[in-house]
Structure 1
Amino acid sequence: MPRTCSLLLGLALSVPVAAVAGCPPDRVCAEDFLRRNDPPDGRLPFRIYVPPACQAARDCPLLLFLHGLGESGTDNAAQLGNAANGAMQLVYPARQAVQPMIMVAPQCCLGEGGQWGGQKNRLIDLLEQVHAEFPYDTGRIYLTGLSMGGGGALDLIGTYNGTFAAIVPVCPHTGYTAGDAAWATTPSWFFHAVDDGTAIVAHSRNHVAALRAAGGDPRYTEFASGNHWIWTYSYASERLFRWLIGQRLGMPAAATEPFVRITAPTAGPVWTSDTPTFDAAGTAGPVAAAIASVRWFLGGQDGTAAGTSDWSVAGLGPVSGTQVLRVQARGASDDAGLGGWTETSASLRVTVPVAVNVVPRVFVRGDAVARAGGRLDLRARVIDDGLPAPGALAVSWTVEQAPAGAVLVVDAADTRHAVIDAAPPGLYRVRADASDGALAGSFVRQVLVLPSGTPPPVAIAINAGGGAYTAADGSPYQADQYHYGSSEASTASGPGAIFGSDDDALHHDYRISYGTWGYRLPVAEGRYFVELHFAETYNPCNTAACRVQDVRLQGVPVLERFSAFALAGQRSALRFGFVTEPVDGLIEIALARSGGQGERSRLDAIRVLRLDGLDELLFSDGFEP
């Protein structure tokens, strides 16, 4: 985008912070935002609004807002001008009463070309910094940006495609879609004006088309007027706010207004049959959305459904193998002055002949090693085929082992999320079960909570594929050794921020192999807690099927058909822990590609902690393992 044009827009629309004389009670103003990392700090400067309801709570969502080029600078203020060009409306008091939310507004740019694309590592570090000061719900990080910031938001989610629960790009300045497929199922809502003379409307149209082609159901509002100045009107939408706060990481998109639903042949995500043709029907609305048309797409076929609020299509197909039916409903935009339309969609995966239902695969994310008094944040990730129709999954939790006083609380709004607050020291075994109504799978998450102030009792730690390294908590990792089998060290990920890790360097190097390989670690007799570190940082590995592996500990399967990308996307850390004992003075960790297919199996680091010396500290409350 031309800098002179953007600067003029920024100057015309931004109100100097010093000019604001008192904040109206129905608003949030720049003076309500705390200042962090003011230049010349060396880190990305940002402002943060923490509503009173979020200052002590740990369950608030976070909104990350990326400004346009006209607000770039070093004053840590311009990005909040004109109520952050309308984005502050998402945290105005009336909306805080519905859902308190933290808002973070960094200011670009520090080096690297003067664009948000050069700030991705700093933005991830910023999210970690905020979480350390104001813990937020990491399953509800919402990303938005306008113009240059809209393009920056798309660039960021393309690199960290498993981090954000939803994205709202407003008139993005780029139509580059190469990375869109990796995050296609993340809920998204694009806004653009057809007459935008700065960032052409084709940018948003291209992204929406690419996401749909990859199996996503993005929402798209295209205003009939407004040019490049639509952001205030976009963020004013009450429907946008309600949609945004309903999204949760790893969950299907929340079906808020406006909506289109498929109810036949099933209301679930998958339909399988031996009959190659089928009828479809559903609903669209509400009435206020003024739905004017419902169109359908199946393979290379498309057409217009009969009806709108109640729609139907007869004789779809024939289908052979697996195809996706997508239904798109188009109604009025939320701004009568700008005109235009909003389009929402729903999809159904159709398979002919009948597919066999498979057991849901369950994994649980969270810390493997934690400190007493903190929160254990557990998130179940269920990988399922959507069968049998209508494909409703039920997730439940069971505490198999925990110290006295530990209380597991399941999130009522998302049963895949559970927490233990003020966790006492000790060993935990928490099982997550997932049932599709016919078959069920489970995963047991093991966690070691160390007493506060106790150094990690490291018996041995290995930086797989890398050199010696001292972790943030003081744990000494040795240079790569003790591995066996045909494998190689790799540094293909290069330097970069890893979300969810205090030790990014452990993921910059790793060991990989096409064959069966692993580590045999020499330790004394006793009981140990083995922590395994993973992340997916290899750019071409951007699908759940790319790197799928099996991991065994002392010959026993502990992670089966495990995909780091499927659980966390790219550049997010995963840690799993398991209690074990050595055999003949060795702890063996074996890895192999599942079914001998796909990209090489990978391990980033290993840490082995002694349990025997901790018994008095861990079990002083009388609890026995």
Structure 2
Amino acid sequence: MKKGLLILATVFISVITTAQDYALFQKFRFIQSGDTLPYRLLLPEHYDPQKKYPLVLFLHGRGESGNDNEAQLLHGASLFLKEENRKKFPAIVVFPQNAVKYYWSNVQTVADSSGKRSFYFTENGPPSPSMQLVVGLMENLGRQYRIKEEQVYVMGLSMGGMGTFEIVNRMPHVFAAAVPICGGANPAIAANLKNASWWIFHGDKDVVVAPEYSRKMVEAMKAKGVDVRATFYPEAGHNSWDAAFAEPGLLPWLFAHKRKDNFKKTSNN
């Protein structure tokens, strides 16, 4: 009985601690032309407004869409809340939240009678409303905070992995490195991705977003001379982000990349 109560107390404390940690991500809403983008923002420990910091943009997956300004922290936020990561890699981290009826990227989805989905990515065309808001948010953050222009990064999973390719394509002079997890894009955009370094992740047993979408991007990017590495987990399904976030070299790799292009060179939309 006492052992059971101890376990329950430990779980309870863990839940409370997690909730308190997530509260470190401040709540904001970015408004542009009447549209609203909820987002959460984590400042470095001992934040000094006179100092410059790297910026990390994180794009969530489809399941975390909405307007509660909470769900987008479900996957990935804890990585940046770990004490050792906050100390080693002080950065401004932003998690915007996509509206339910939109996608980050211009992806088209077709589902067959069994529910299996296929994805089709457009090469050109205007950004989705959510992507347009994120581009505006990035430009706004560059005015609000002192950003290390050579250290701006983007990560994303599933729909957000697709959005990672999309935003680098639309803002090719901004990002030093990009990490799309179980995503995909139109291989025709590969040449426009060469200003960033890439680490692509996918699970070989993913039945939601097939690993072929990432494999095709890796092949096309290598053909265009893009600095890209890829990790495919043989036993992982769609939640390959769990394995990706557990990679001890992920954040050291990310923050090691710098670029000379000016952060204020904005979109390609």
Instruction: Please tell me whether residue 99 in structure 1 is matched to residue 78 in structure 2.
Output: no
Deviation at 1:570, TM superposition (A): 5.8
> Which of 198, 203, 211 is the aligned partner of 1:201?
211
Correspondences of 1:80-479 after superposition (within 5 Å) = 80-81=73-74, 85-109=75-99, 114-117=102-105, 118=128, 119-172=130-183, 174-250=184-260
Deviation at 1:22, TM superposition (A): 2.8
User: Kindly tell me: are residues 23 and 90 of structure 1, through their superposed partners in 2, closer, same or farther at Cα, counting changes over 3 Å?
Assistant: closer
User: Kindly tell me: are residues 71 and 46 of structure 1, through their superposed partners in 2, closer, same or farther at Cα, counting changes over 3 Å?
Assistant: same
Deviation at 1:210, TM superposition (A): 0.7
How big is each residue's C-alpha offset from its partner over 1:272-310, in whole Å with a ceiling of 9 and x where there is no partner?
A: xxxxxxxxxxxxxxxxxxxxxxxxxxxxxxxxxxxxxxx
Which ranges in structure 2 are unaligned for 5 or more consecutive residues? 1-13, 106-127
Deviation at 1:217, TM superposition (A): 2.8
In 1, the alpha carbon distance for the partners of 2:173 and 2:48 equals 26
Instruction: Please tell me whether residue 51 in structure 1 is matched to residue 61 in structure 2.
Output: no
User: Kindly tell me: are residues 175 and 202 of structure 1, through their superposed partners in 2, closer, same or farther at Cα, counting changes over 3 Å?
Assistant: farther
In 2, the alpha carbon distance for the partners of 1:20 and 1:132 equals 36
Opposite residue 192 of structure 2, the aligned amino acid is: A
The runs of 4+ residues in structure 1 deviating greater than 4 Å are 38-41
> Which of 27, 43, 49 is the aligned partner of 1:35?
27
Percent of aligned positions with the same letter in both sequences? 29
User: Kindly tell me: are residues 20 and 105 of structure 1, through their superposed partners in 2, closer, same or farther at Cα, counting changes over 3 Å?
Assistant: same
How big is each residue's C-alpha offset from its partner over 1:320-346, in whole Å with a ceiling of 9 and x where there is no partner?
A: xxxxxxxxxxxxxxxxxxxxxxxxxxx
CA contact (8 A) 1:139 1:249 kept: yes
Q: Which has the higher strand share?
A: 1
Which ranges in structure 1 are unaligned for 5 or more consecutive residues? 1-18, 251-364, 366-378, 380-498, 501-567, 573-625
In 2, the alpha carbon distance for the partners of 1:170 and 1:91 equals 20
Deviation at 1:192, TM superposition (A): 0.5
In 2, the alpha carbon distance for the partners of 1:53 and 1:210 equals 42
In 1, the alpha carbon distance for the partners of 2:228 and 2:207 equals 24
Instruction: Please tell me whether residue 70 in structure 1 is matched to residue 80 in structure 2.
Output: no
How big is each residue's C-alpha offset from its partner over 1:192-249, in whole Å with a ceiling of 9 and x where there is no partner?
A: 0111010101011111111100012301001011200121221221211111010012
In 1, the alpha carbon distance for the partners of 2:215 and 2:140 equals 35
Opposite residue 44 of structure 1, the aligned amino acid is: L
CA contact (8 A) 1:39 1:74 kept: no
In 1, the alpha carbon distance for the partners of 2:103 and 2:268 equals 21
Deviation at 1:37, TM superposition (A): 0.7
CA contact (8 A) 2:54 2:148 kept: yes
Secondary structure of the 2:98 match is coil
CA contact (8 A) 2:175 2:195 kept: no
- Comparing both chains, which one has the higher relative contact order based on Cα–Cα distances under 8 Å and sequence gaps of 6 or more? 2
Secondary structure of the 2:164 match is helix
In 2, the alpha carbon distance for the partners of 1:233 and 1:44 equals 29
CA contact (8 A) 2:139 2:266 kept: no
In 2, the alpha carbon distance for the partners of 1:171 and 1:187 equals 17
Aligned length: 232
CA contact (8 A) 1:54 1:101 kept: no
CA contact (8 A) 2:135 2:167 kept: no
Opposite residue 102 of structure 2, the aligned amino acid is: G
Deviation at 1:132, TM superposition (A): 3.0
Deviation at 1:127, TM superposition (A): 1.6
In 1, the alpha carbon distance for the partners of 2:210 and 2:64 equals 20
User: Kindly tell me: are residues 131 and 569 of structure 1, through their superposed partners in 2, closer, same or farther at Cα, counting changes over 3 Å?
Assistant: closer
Deviation at 1:98, TM superposition (A): 1.4
Correspondences of 1:507-522 after superposition (within 5 Å) = none
TM normalised by structure 1 equals 0.35
Which structure's CA Rg is the greater one?
A: 1
TM normalised by structure 2 equals 0.78
In 1, the alpha carbon distance for the partners of 2:173 and 2:31 equals 30
User: Kindly tell me: are residues 137 and 91 of structure 1, through their superposed partners in 2, closer, same or farther at Cα, counting changes over 3 Å?
Assistant: farther
In 1, the alpha carbon distance for the partners of 2:22 and 2:192 equals 35
Secondary structure of the 1:228 match is coil
In 2, the alpha carbon distance for the partners of 1:175 and 1:132 equals 30
Secondary structure of the 2:94 match is strand
Secondary structure of the 1:115 match is coil
User: Kindly tell me: are residues 191 and 135 of structure 1, through their superposed partners in 2, closer, same or farther at Cα, counting changes over 3 Å?
Assistant: same
In 2, the alpha carbon distance for the partners of 1:571 and 1:155 equals 11
Q: Which has the higher helix share?
A: 2
